[in-house]
Structure 1
């Protein structure tokens, strides 16, 4: 993985108890990169917490999907920032499925943050999540329908975890 200035201060993997990253941030960049996620990332790094954020850690010229998958496997804690357009992104939904898979196989911690969205909308694909899933379902073949069902199950699992609901903050 490429090293960035923000991760160099805490790049020692010996502090991660066998993991390459203490924390993996899953978020929709357009919604929160410059706001909540940006501030959270800066504060985690300032406290010496080795944190994966896609724009800082992805290897230039590398295969994004495999780099993200590897980073998820190499992380101990996952913070999922559910925002209005999170479900619009197939990348976010595929990350979420991988995170939930790691959570069930390993002793990982998953912390959902519901950023200006209702946890019930995440759990039941209501509101903007419903709109996103209707769009994903357009012209879906059997394979795509299976993928959509997997995404729905991952959202339900994550939304049933104890987390933080941030409204108007």
Structure 2
């Protein structure tokens, strides 16, 4: 990962849309009302460049990361790739990350039990030749779940 040459965004939020859409809408609205620039994948992605490169560029160009961990977060390979990139930036540049446990207990994320265990069983079947990638994702989740964050219930 190359060092970012300037901050494009104040905040990059990683989330699984299908189970956090309402909360994310409120979060983005509150941040924007306070003049905090937030990368929004549905508005900031442009044609012509690969989505993964644009996301990587947005992650590298953000000052702070918010990772909204939810019941279905671990089912998304894309969310897990984002988390891996975020934690690489945290390690390389010391940028802060704030986990938000939305309708999921931090211990479920940390220990990959319940829906997280089922998600990884699926990834291990689907990505049988990529066990190192799956292991990196598990370690990333354990690492982020060990950080101080917010635990929020639905509604």
Say whether the fold is shared (TM-score over 0.5): yes
Q: CA deviation at 1:56?
A: 1.8
Give the TM-score normalised by the residue count of structure 1: 0.85
For these two proteins, the number of residue pairs brought into alignment is: 151
Q: Rg: which structure is higher?
A: 1
Q: Which aligned segments of 4 or more residues in structure 1 are displaced greater than 2 angstroms?
A: 139-142
Structure 1 residues 139, 60: closer, same or farther in 2, change over 3 A? Answer: closer
2:15 is aligned to 27
* Residue ranges of structure 1 left out of the alignment (5+ in a row): 1-16
Choose from 123, 127, 137 the match for 1:136.
Answer: 123
1:56 is aligned to 43
Aligned with 1:138: secondary structure?
helix
1:39 is aligned to 26
1:102 is aligned to 89
* Residue ranges of structure 2 left out of the alignment (5+ in a row): none
1:159 is aligned to 145
**For residues 67-108 of structure 1, what are the alpha-carbon distances to aligned partners after superposition, in whole Å with 9 as ceiling and x for unaligned?**
101100000100000011100000000000000000011121
CA-atom RMSD, angstroms?
A: 1.4
Q: Distance in 2 between matches of 1:104 and 1:25?
A: 17
